[in-house]
Structure 1
C-alpha cells in the first residue's frame, strides 16, 4: 500500500510534536505523520524565530520538499497554522512542487477576512496574558510560573505578531486539493458564515465538520479528527459527529 504524508502545523505558541504527536495512535498506518516544528518552538527552541509568514513558509517547505516530490501528501493547520498551510500550498505551486491532496484546517477564518478587535501583539504583557487566559487551552500553572512566562511569553508574542501582520497577497488563489474544515460553534474566533468563505480557496471540494468545545477543541476530539482524516485520504474510517 502506498503511503501518504500528513504535515501538521501548530497554533500560536505551540509545539507541533506536543500537539500532534499522539495522532499517530489513531491515524491509519498508510498515513505518515510529520509534525512541522517552527523555528524557536519545541524541538527547535534554540533557533531564531522566523521574521514573518513568508520566511516560515519557505523554511517549512524546504523541510517538506524531500517527501512531497516522492509521494502524495496533505497538510493540517490549526488557528495560526491555517494561514501557514494555505501559504505553503501557494508556495509549493510557485516552486513547481506538487500541491497537497487536501488541506485540513481549523480555528481560523480565511485570510481575506479580518478580525475586528485590536491586534493582540500590541497589548501590554498584562493585557496580552489576560486575553490568552480568556481564549482557554493554557494550563493555569503557566500564568503562575515566572519561569514558564519568561520562556513562553516571547514565543506567544512573536507568533501573534507574525500572524496578525500577515496579509493575503492579492485575491485568494484556489488550491488544487480539497479543503476540509473542522470547527467548534463555541469557538469565539470562528463562525459558520465566515468559515464557508473557505470554499473559494479550493478548485475542488469544501466540507466542514462541527464539534463541541472552545478554540482548542482539537485536543478533545483529536481521535475523531483522525478518523475523518483517514476517511478523506484513504477512503475509510468514520465518526458520528460530522457534516459535509
Structure 2
C-alpha cells in the first residue's frame, strides 16, 4: 500500500521525509514534489489547479496501481481532493482513505482577505502572520526574491480554487489545529459533504501548522488509518 503526501503552500518534501520510519515496511511513502521547489527549483511553479492536476494525472497509473491513501496539509488537502475528482471522472481506482489536514473543505469559499497579489512587503508580512514560513527565509531578501514567485503561485491556487462538490466512496479524516483561527467550524464540517462514508474530525494542539508542532500526534492519527486500510486490504486477499 502507498501513502501519498501533498505539501502545503510553499512547502515540499521536507515536511514528510522524516515520516518514512514511522510506518511498517509494507507501506511506501510517496511525497509529492510540485515544480518550483527542492529538486525542481529551476522549473516554473503552477499557478492554477488545473495545470497542477494535469501534471499529476500523467502519473495516474502509478498512483492507482495498488491500494493507496492520500494525505494533504492545507492547500495539499485540496490538491489531493481535486486529484480524486479527476480520477473519478476517468473511472480510475480511488484511495482507501483520505486525510485532510489543516484545511477548509475544497468546495467552500475562502472568507479571508487574499494575499497572493499583495505588494511584496505586505505579502511578506502576511506570510509572517501565518507562522508557516521560516523566519530565516522571511528575513533574507535574496532568498525571498528566489522563492517569491513560488509562494505567490501556491497562494494563488490556494485562494482562488473552488472544487466541484462530489461525493466520494471513501471515509475522510479531518485534522485541525485547536488554535487555528483561520478556519471556521462550518468550513471543516463541510468535508462531510464529500464522502458517502462520512468524516471524522480530530482536534490537535497547535495553530495552522500543527503538522509540525504536533508531529507525533499527526503521525499517530495517520498510522491508525493506514492500519485500518491495510487490514481491510489483507482481508480481501
What TM-score results when the alignment is normalised by the length of structure 2? Answer: 0.91
Structure 2 spans left out of the alignment, 5+ residues: 230-237
Q: Aligned partners of 2:220 and 2:27: how far apart in 1? A: 12
Q: Which of the numbers 205, 213, 216 marks the counterpart of 2:206?
A: 213
CA gap 1:226/1:117 in 2 versus in 1, 3 angstroms? closer
Q: Is the 8 A contact 2:110 2:159 kept in 1?
A: no
Task: Give the equivalent residue in structure 2 for 1:24.
Answer: 20
Task: Give the equivalent residue in structure 1 for 2:235.
Answer: none
Q: Which of the numbers 182, 195, 212 marks the counterpart of 2:175?
A: 182
Task: Give the equivalent residue in structure 2 for 1:83.
Answer: 78
- Per the alignment, in what secondary structure is the counterpart of residue 122 of structure 1? coil
Q: Which of the numbers 89, 93, 99 marks the counterpart of 2:88?
A: 93
Q: Aligned partners of 2:73 and 2:42: how far apart in 1? A: 23
Q: Is the 8 A contact 1:107 1:189 kept in 2?
A: no
Q: Deviations over 1:89-137 (max 9, x none)?
A: 0111112210011111111211222222321112111111111101102
Q: Is the 8 A contact 1:51 1:162 kept in 2?
A: yes
Task: Give the equivalent residue in structure 1 for 2:39.
Answer: 43
Task: Give the equivalent residue in structure 1 for 2:55.
Answer: 59
Count of aligned positions = 229
1:111-130 matches, within 5 Å, as 111-130=106-125
**How far off its partner does 1:64 sit?**
4.5
Q: Aligned partners of 2:23 and 2:54: how far apart in 1? A: 27
Q: Does 1:139 align with 2:145?
A: no
1:156-171 matches, within 5 Å, as 156-169=151-164
Q: Is the 8 A contact 1:58 1:91 kept in 2?
A: no
**How far off its partner does 1:219 sit?**
0.9
Q: Aligned partners of 2:216 and 2:23: how far apart in 1? A: 8
Moved over 3 A (4+): none
Q: Which of the numbers 74, 96, 102 marks the counterpart of 1:107?
A: 102
Q: Aligned partners of 1:136 and 1:42: how far apart in 2? A: 21
Q: Aligned partners of 2:77 and 2:85: how far apart in 1? A: 13
What TM-score results when the alignment is normalised by the length of structure 1? Answer: 0.88
Q: Aligned partners of 1:18 and 1:151: how far apart in 2? A: 18
Q: Which of the numbers 211, 215, 227 marks the counterpart of 2:220?
A: 227
